[in-house]
Structure 1
């Protein structure tokens, strides 16, 4: 009797388990067959500013970089300044020792000797004429001629001696303050580079030769941005447009600049036509920007202020027509209505809505994933 009861109970339990499995499978398959309901984020139009921008890459450099060159050939005997130091106009940067050319030196020495011989002769004649004038034998007119010849002879000797000093030393006693052997800065600014050293030979600047660069000097308070813009956007920019300049070496700090030059001719670079631009940079007194820093210039091409905006991802485009899904019902089930709108300026994230929506409307946004729903439900 007990065995029959146990077998009966086992049979009932087994049939119950089978029945539960069948029912569970049926419920699972039924849920699987039901259409999946997708929920969407609800977005409200907002007032804001939409800008379209372009970015030009380039570097910051002084507006004018002056190359200081010697006016006489020779050898550097002394360098008084180095890169990074500030100089004023007329301040000596280096000194040049002249190496005379033997032909010119010999000619200058010969001229001095000839002038001295001529002076000795004229001086002797002048002394004799002076005695004759005192005795009344020589007239005043004749004595004046003798005196003028004497002065001319003295001046000729002085000129010959100055010419010899210039050929031999590069400087004369009469021109010591404006000596060409002293290389002076022509502007007030900062020395960017001194490529020469003591002992280097240098060549003077003339009509046939640029000459050796002694130093480069620039005014570091007058800086410009020089960069390039692609041909697809060059037609949208013009002189006078404001620019936000970001210097890579200074982190996220930005500087204001004003576009002042757009090249009328493009150049091919890396397979694309690029146009050069220049912008005047406004530097505060507390900032020091070194020449050659790489920088990015952000140029605002178009701006729409205080306009109705929505995320561009919520807009559906069909040809030249734009549509959005306007919310008609949120709960218990989301219901949307397709509506045509007129769009304006876009920055790639936000887009301007000119017609078709108001600030009170709500539109369909991105679909909410199941994982997000599950996570939200799991939170207390």
Structure 2
């Protein structure tokens, strides 16, 4: 029994050695990897960045009331073109009862004061005509009488403004809301019956309408702090609109914010550019847009695909492998310049005649070899 087990173990050991030897021979019998090469070439490189933002009017004017009340009627709609002075809406005044009573009281007091001075004025005029009082005394009394009349007129106007919104009901009454510039109505955020608040030193007031000139549009976006230092006012921009596909619009950079704002851990700087007019397209306010800016450009320079570069693990300096013979390569350090993410500029280390090794080339596995190995297993 022991002899049978002993010979069985020997047989298993011999078979294992034979299988390992066969596997090793087959593994080493595969052909060596053949690396392809590429040569440097002359090309142009543009280093660009993209700023995301939107297209907005250069100026948006908010129309606000000069008196509080309720929207009585709206004469225009969003999208209408208006001229300076066009009537947009009217306001119905709802006077404060306390202020109305106080204004009425001021009118009554002014009437009483005027009546009293009138009696005094008539009496002294008779004496003045007879030469009893001096010219100076009469003139002083006449001045007081005229001032009382003016005070009554002012009190009546205040009362009418509180009650009706205007003193004389003229076309320029505070209850008439008119456009202050030429342009297009972008938004009317109120409706008939809405209560509105006047604009004053303590309150911005309720916006009745927003008007802008859609013929003067600008791009407003943001760029990262790492790229803002390379921008200059006057640089050309290429604008792409999300709402208009396959169409580019020209623009000129006119503003770079002097102060950045931190957003999601990165400092962003606002930029603005004047959009060139194109009458064949209707550009609406608020379109999302991307602006492409050329940070650096070089023409007719020696370049290679960036994928051919390797970097030293210790010095982090770039290098490539150049062919010196049939599938024989040597390391060569290179100095690189700008890159567009596809090609990179070679400042030194290579010539157009050099053949650069294409890295990470693997030999394809033959289907027949796979089937044979599976069958043997």
Output the TM-score relative to the length of structure 1: 0.72
Shift of 1:198: 1.5
In the alignment, is residue 200 of structure 1 matched against residue 161 of structure 2?
Answer: no
Aligned to 2:338: 345
Q: Which runs of 5+ in 2 are unaligned?
A: 1-25, 366-377
Aligned to 2:31: 35
Equivalent pairs counted in the alignment come to: 331
Q: 1:297 aligns with which of 274, 291, 298?
A: 291
Query: SS of 1:104's equivalent?
Result: helix
Partners of 2:47 and 2:197 in 1: CA distance: 53
Aligned to 1:13: none
Give a deviation string over 1:258-310, Cα, whole Å, max 9, x none.
162246444242xx424132222322252543222112232333333321112
Partners of 1:145 and 1:348 in 2: CA distance: 91
Shift of 1:126: 4.2
Aligned to 1:358: 351
CA RMSD of aligned residues (A): 3.7
Query: SS of 1:252's equivalent?
Result: strand
In the alignment, is residue 56 of structure 1 matched against residue 51 of structure 2?
Answer: yes
Aligned to 1:226: 221
In the alignment, is residue 261 of structure 1 matched against residue 269 of structure 2?
Answer: no
In the alignment, is residue 104 of structure 1 matched against residue 90 of structure 2?
Answer: no
Give a deviation string over 1:212-270, Cα, whole Å, max 9, x none.
221223344142312353x6x3465445354432221121323324162246444242x
Aligned pairs for 1:55-74 within 5 A? 55-74=50-69
Q: Which runs of 5+ in 1 are unaligned?
A: 1-29, 329-333, 372-380
Aligned to 1:284: 277
Query: SS of 1:253's equivalent?
Result: strand
Aligned to 1:148: 143
Query: SS of 2:88's equivalent?
Result: strand
Aligned residues of 2:336 and 2:347 also touching (Cα < 8 A): yes
Describe the shift of the 1:88–1:239 C-alpha distance in structure 2 as closer, same or farther (beyond 3 A).
Answer: farther
Describe the shift of the 1:268–1:299 C-alpha distance in structure 2 as closer, same or farther (beyond 3 A).
Answer: same
Query: SS of 1:107's equivalent?
Result: helix
In the alignment, is residue 84 of structure 1 matched against residue 84 of structure 2?
Answer: no
Shift of 1:368: 11
Partners of 1:276 and 1:168 in 2: CA distance: 51
Query: SS of 2:243's equivalent?
Result: helix
Partners of 1:161 and 1:192 in 2: CA distance: 39
- Range that drifts further, 301-310 or 88-97: 88-97
Describe the shift of the 1:264–1:154 C-alpha distance in structure 2 as closer, same or farther (beyond 3 A).
Answer: closer
Describe the shift of the 1:316–1:122 C-alpha distance in structure 2 as closer, same or farther (beyond 3 A).
Answer: closer
Output the TM-score relative to the length of structure 2: 0.72
Shift of 1:165: 0.7
Q: 1:115 aligns with which of 91, 105, 110?
A: 110
Aligned residues of 2:324 and 2:330 also touching (Cα < 8 A): no
Describe the shift of the 1:82–1:257 C-alpha distance in structure 2 as closer, same or farther (beyond 3 A).
Answer: same
Describe the shift of the 1:222–1:39 C-alpha distance in structure 2 as closer, same or farther (beyond 3 A).
Answer: closer
Aligned to 1:4: none
Describe the shift of the 1:370–1:107 C-alpha distance in structure 2 as closer, same or farther (beyond 3 A).
Answer: closer
Partners of 1:342 and 1:46 in 2: CA distance: 16
Aligned to 1:209: 203
Partners of 2:158 and 2:62 in 1: CA distance: 29
Aligned to 1:275: 268
Aligned to 2:184: 190
Describe the shift of the 1:316–1:228 C-alpha distance in structure 2 as closer, same or farther (beyond 3 A).
Answer: closer
Query: SS of 2:70's equivalent?
Result: strand
